[in-house]
Amino acid sequence: AVPGYVELSNGQVVAGKIYMTRDKRVKVYDAELKRQREIPLDRIQEIECTVLKEWMEKEWRFRELAKDEKEYTGRSYPAREYTHTVTLSDGRKIEGPLAEVIYVEPETGGDSRSAGGDRPYTEPLRFLLHKREKGEVGEDLKSLVYVKRIKLGEEALAEGKRKAAARPYVPPPKE
């Protein structure tokens, strides 16, 4: 796990230990080299997300099963396309689409060793990085929250703690 923070598009921040599933690397398509790159999380300084395009998509269905005639329902849902800029520890940048699952073990504050080494277990938070994402029917673009930035390193953890104090993370309600 690497110390750092995750910042969401709504301004909320989660600071803590950031990791992926065991031995997994961040896979990003490098447009310059025209190939996929695999980068270990500890070699990354920052992952920044940029919205390429966002729109409200009209919901439709096929009029009949065997025919290719579309029928619009009159409802719509938000959709977005992203690109990510991965900044490596040495300052090099790789830009391209990526889709990954990132976990954050939130920083609980205080020294965990002070109470005999037993600290309460906190469920890691799961964040998805998308190439393309769509929301639920009836939602708007603002309600489609995405990971805007991930910063890694000890300095980033300190910065993340300061930001998280101002805009703490509130998990979305579970359905």
pLDDT tens digits, residue range 110-167? 544 444 455 667 789 999 999 999 999 999 999 999 999 999 999 999 999 999 988 8
Residue type for position 110: G
Q: Which of 46, 25, 9 is nearest to 159 (CA)?
A: 46
DSSP letter at 68 equals -
pLDDT tens digits, residue range 24-79? 999 999 988 899 999 999 999 999 999 999 999 999 988 888 888 889 999 999 99
Question: Do 18 and 7 touch, CB atoms closer than 8 A?
Answer: no
